[in-house]
Amino acid sequence: MQFAFENQKRRGNSDCKSQLATPKRSTALRHLRCPTGGKTRATAEAGGKKRHFYKPLPAQFRHDGFEYRQIARERHAAIYEQRWGGCADPSVCYEVIRIRRREGFQIGARLVEAAEVYPNSEAWGVDAWTVLTRDAAFEKLREITGDCSALNDW
* pLDDT band at 50; cut points 50, 70, 90: low
The model's pLDDT over 2-20, given as tens digits with 9 standing for 90+, comes to 444 344 444 444 444 333 3
End-to-end alpha-carbon separation of the chain, Å?
Answer: 42
* pLDDT band at 89; cut points 50, 70, 90: confident
* pLDDT band at 86; cut points 50, 70, 90: confident
Q: What is the pTM of this model?
A: 0.61
Number of helical (H) and strand (E) elements in the chain, helices listed first: 3, 9
Instruction: Report the pLDDT value the prediction gives residue 80, as an integer from 0 to 100.
Output: 98
Mean pLDDT of the chain: 75
- Residue 9's region, left for phi above 0, alpha for psi from -120 to 50, else beta, is alpha
Alpha helices in the chain (DSSP H): 2-11, 23-33, 134-145
